[in-house]
Every structure is written in structure tokens, then in C-alpha cells.
Amino acid sequence: MSKPLKQVHLAAHFPGVNNTTVWSDPKAGSHIEFSSFVHFAQTAERAKFDFLFLAEGLRLREQGGKIYDLDVVGRPDTFTILTALAAVTEHLGLTGTINSTFNEPYEVARQFASLDHLSDGRAAWNVVTSWDAFTGENFRRGGFLPQDERYSRAKEFLQTTSELFDSWRGDEILADRQTGTFLRDAKAGAFVHSGQHFDIEGQFNVPRSPQGRPVIFQAGDSDEGREFAASTADAIFSRYATLKEGQEFYTDVKGRLAKYGREPQELLILPAATFVLGETDAEAEELAREVRRQQVSGATAIKHLEFVWNRDLSGYDPDGPLPDIDPDLGEHTVSRGRAQVRMYRDPLATAREWRERAEANNWSIRDLVIETGNRQNFVGTPATVAATINDYVQADASDGFILAPHITPGGLDTFADTVVPLLQERGVYRTEYEGTTLRDRLGLAHPDTVKAGERAAS
């Protein structure tokens, strides 16, 4: 290999509200107290991670018409918690997931520009879309979008916020006491946007922030989502953390950049990944098995089966065999507010396959859900995990990983203490933060230096 070694990017996903997060472990702390966020963020910064990542959901999940109570429930407001974390960290990037359906561009642009100012250039935005009336019931704009309009709204939303960020060039504030000139140009922030989803004009009231605009993340996986990312995003929060799937995704998305006049390094691919560390590889494997059992209680197993069956299965014994009845193929009504159910496009086939596997292996419902669920991506000694992460990055399965520990808030501690030094020894991971902004750390150019016309508009 004559290729120079790629540098590994690492980020920390604050443990979320799904069953990856193990709250029943005695080591698990609060998911809402600020002290948990401080511990997690400061550990990530100690480990020289690029950024902390926060997911978002704007309606509590329901199953069978009731609020889902088996996973962690409850989270903070994204902008507020990230800005507070800017006070207790110095270098760590702050990435927030913010929905483009239940917000307005002027307000979101103000919030990201403010976060970027108040963190000295560490703001990033994971742009997501939704279309469900279920979530819309919490919002005055109510409503929702036809599914086929969600990307057009997201694109226009992002385009509109870009126009707002760019409405200040950065040199307007003169603040000359002698002449009494505060603004060089009284028209600073002027904008007009007229489009299908937004028709707004006026003056944006936050001066240009250190990064110009936040780093843009995108998480969609459809063909349309990939094009959206290739045309406009700085990074992708992807789901493909295995070697082969990662390489396919990486090749596919990076291959889409040229038609937008972009270079491969202008879009980072950062899959979400889980890990379990042990003294030996065997011990780590054993530990990983235990964690998977913690993640899938009997009650959780029944609920997960309902995602596929689309029926109330509460009468079934999680330690018994799979249901004989077939899934209900009608509109999905059992689970709401959860993206996961859309993964099962052919429930009959999935049910048939699962029954066969359960019978062949003598698995109970709980065994089946554990075995078909996600395995941790990186399992082993710190040396094994460091080597694997590096191999994956060098083999272009990704540019790094967004690590989601299963314990809050201490789940990153051991990784920071043991794996990071090994990556540093290999010369593939920073020993000091470079530059001053998140863009600097991700190797992304400041938007002002990107040549005009290089990016296609929407």
C-alpha cells in the first residue's frame, strides 16, 4: 500500500432512547441530569473526539396505543443542552439533530448561528425530516407532509438557512466609537427567499458565526437521501459499520460527489458503532453476549416481535416458541414514533424465516430477538478494537465512527483510556486538537473558501 494512512475520526453518541442503552445496569446513571452530559462530553474531549452527537425525537414512542415504557424515556432540548456543554468543554464539536419539518428556517438559523458563536465555532447540524401526523400533534403547524415532499422540504429548508447564514458576510460589524458606526452596512442580513415551502424576506439578526455555517450532517439512506447528502452535506451519519456494507456505502456515496463538483474528502462517512471491551477477546465476547441479553428483556422481545407482526402479542411467553399466527399486513398501527418498523418490508417472509431459524436452533422468542438483533460492531481487547477500527478506516469502510456506548454516562471511559492511546501510537489519531473549529478538525474548508458555483444549488 503506497496510500498514506488516513486519520481516524471518532465521535460520541450520547446513549439514546432505544434498547441499545442498558438502563438496568447498576453502573447506569441519569439520562437527563446535566452532570451525566458533562461527564460524557468531558470524557469525549479527553479522548480528543471530534464531536458529541445528540439524536432527537419530538414525540414519545407508543406501542399498542400506550407510551412505550421499556427503554429510556426522556431527553433534553438539543440546542439548550449543546450550548450548555459549550461552557464545560473547549474543543469538542457539538452536533445536534434538528428536524426540518417541525421548525422554521429563521429560528433554526438563529439557534445554530448562536450555538456556533457561543461555542467559538463548534456547531454541527444533523438534518432530519419526518412526515408523520403523530409527531405533528405536538406542533402548532400541526400537520405533516406527504412522504414524497419531505426531501423537497428538507432541501429547501437547508437552502434557506444557508441563505440566512450567508446574509452576513462577516465584516459588517465595525463598532467604531469615534465615528459612531456600529454596522458598516445597514442592510446587513438582508434576504429574500421565495420557494415552494418557504416564502420569507427581511433581515437575519445574527451576525456571521465563526464557522460561517454549522457543519451539515445527513442520515437518510434512500437513494434520494444519498443524493441529498452528496450534494449538500459535510458528513453522513450512516448505519453501515461492518466492513463489507461500509465499503459498499462508502464507494456508492463518495462516487456521487463528482457530479456536484465535489472531492471525496469533502464528505465524511461516519457510521454509528457499538463496542464492548474486555481483558481478552474471549472475555469481551462473553461480555458482549451478556450485554445483548440485558438489551433484550423478555418484555422487550415481545415488543420487538410486534414490530414485525403488527399485532398485540402480549399473551405470548418470551421464553416460549414464536407465534403460529401470521403478521397483520394492514397499515402499521402497533408501533408509532419509531423508524425501526419500516425496516421490515415483507413481514410474512420475515416471520417465516424467523420461525424456521427458531425451530432449527431451538430458540425462544427472546433468544430469536437477541440473535437477530444487532451485534456490537467492535468486540475485543483494546488492541483488537483499535486494530479493527483502523483497518476499517484504511479499507475505506468509513472515515471513522460515531460510538454509541450502552451505559450512561461512563460507557466511554474505558475506550478513552485504552483504545485511544493505541490509535495514537499507530499514528492514525490526533494527540492534540488541530485548528480552532469543528470544520478544522474534520478537515473541511470554511464555506467562504469554497469556490462559488462549486456546489449545485439544491
Within residues 74-93, the interface with other proteins by CB under 8 A covers 74-77, 79-81, 83-84, 86-88
Binds other proteins (CB under 8 A): choice among 66, 342, 345, 451: 66
Is residue 60 involved in binding other proteins (CB under 8 A)? Answer: yes
Stretch that binds other proteins, among 246-254, 259-267, 285-293, 297-305 (CB under 8 A): 297-305
Residue 2 burial (CB count, 10 A): 3
Q: 418: buried, middle or exposed (CB in 10 Å: 19+, 13-18, 0-12)?
A: middle
For other proteins, which is the closer residue by CB, 42 or 247?
42
Going by C-beta distance under 8 Å and a sequence separation of 6 or more, which residues neighbour residue 200?
105, 106, 160, 191, 192, 193
Binds other proteins (CB under 8 A): choice among 6, 7, 71, 364: 71
Q: How far apart, in whole angstroms, are the C-alpha atoms of residue 134 and residue 116? A: 32
Q: How many residues make contact with other proteins (CB under 8 A)? A: 75
Is residue 185 involved in binding other proteins (CB under 8 A)? Answer: yes
Q: Which three cell numbers stand for residue 341?
A: 418498523
Binding residues among 161-180 for other proteins as defined by CB under 8 A: 168, 173, 175, 177, 180
Give the three-state DSSP class for 223: helix
Question: Residue 54's beta-bridge partner residues?
Answer: 96
Binding residues among 388-447 for other proteins as defined by CB under 8 A: none
Exposure string over 211-221, b if 16+ CB within 10 A, otherwise e = bbbbbbbbbbe
Q: Distances from the Cα of 391 to the Cαs of 7, 42, 238, 409, 426, in angstroms?
A: 11, 27, 18, 28, 11
DSSP 303-321: HHHHHHH-S--TTS-TTSP
Binding residues among 193-232 for other proteins as defined by CB under 8 A: 198-203, 205-207
Binds other proteins (CB under 8 A): choice among 18, 238, 300, 335: 300
Q: How far apart, in whole angstroms, are the C-alpha atoms of residue 185 and residue 170? A: 11
Binding residues among 9-28 for other proteins as defined by CB under 8 A: 23-24
Helix (H) or strand (E) holding 202: strand 199-203
For other proteins, which is the closer residue by CB, 52 or 284?
52
The answer to whether the CB of 438 falls within 8 A of the CB of 116 is no
Is residue 342 involved in binding other proteins (CB under 8 A)? Answer: no
Is residue 120 involved in binding other proteins (CB under 8 A)? Answer: yes
Is residue 103 involved in binding other proteins (CB under 8 A)? Answer: yes
Binds other proteins (CB under 8 A): choice among 64, 261, 264, 298: 298
For other proteins, which is the closer residue by CB, 87 or 348?
87
Going by C-beta distance under 8 Å and a sequence separation of 6 or more, which residues neighbour residue 320?
364, 365
Give the three-state DSSP class for 123: strand
Helix (H) or strand (E) holding 356: helix 347-361
For other proteins, which is the closer residue by CB, 205 or 424?
205
Q: How far apart, in whole angstroms, are the C-alpha atoms of residue 117 and residue 212? A: 10
CB of 209 to other proteins, least distance (A): 8
For other proteins, which is the closer residue by CB, 123 or 423?
123
CB of 323 to other proteins, least distance (A): 20
Is residue 314 involved in binding other proteins (CB under 8 A)? Answer: no
CB of 294 to other proteins, least distance (A): 10
Is residue 453 involved in binding other proteins (CB under 8 A)? Answer: no
Stretch that binds other proteins, among 42-50, 65-73, 146-154, 339-347 (CB under 8 A): 65-73
CB of 219 to other proteins, least distance (A): 19
The answer to whether the CB of 229 falls within 8 A of the CB of 220 is yes
